Amino acid sequence: MDDLTKELHSAHWRKSTLSGHDASNCVEIANLSGNHRAIRDSKNPTGPALILTPRQWSALLTHVKNDTID
């Protein structure tokens, strides 16, 4: 298990305040060391998480903002 994966267990997870009280369609984000980010499904907090490099995180945000995700 690498260091970033180990960080997932103690990470501070957060979701958008725009989510309201309905957690059925939310993702949660956590900051990890080295400016990495982790993403998980809020309905399954013990399930898998996707770890993104800073470059991947930036690209994801760009695509979300520009509505260019397929």
> Rounded to two decimals, what is the model's pTM?
0.81
On the question of pLDDT at 14 being above 90, the answer is: yes
12: its two tokens = 């501070």
On the question of pLDDT at 70 being above 80, the answer is: no
For the chain, percent of residues with pLDDT exceeding 90: 54
Residue 70 resides in a domain: no
On the question of pLDDT at 56 being above 90, the answer is: yes
Number of domains in the chain: 1
Residue 48 resides in a domain: yes
What is the pLDDT at residue 2? 84
Poorest-confidence range of 14-18, 20-24, 25-29, 45-49? Answer: 20-24
Range of the domain at 25: 3-65
Q: Which residues of 19-52 are buried (b: 16+ CB within 10 A; e: fewer)?
A: eeeeeeeeebbbebeeebbbbbbeeeeeeebebb
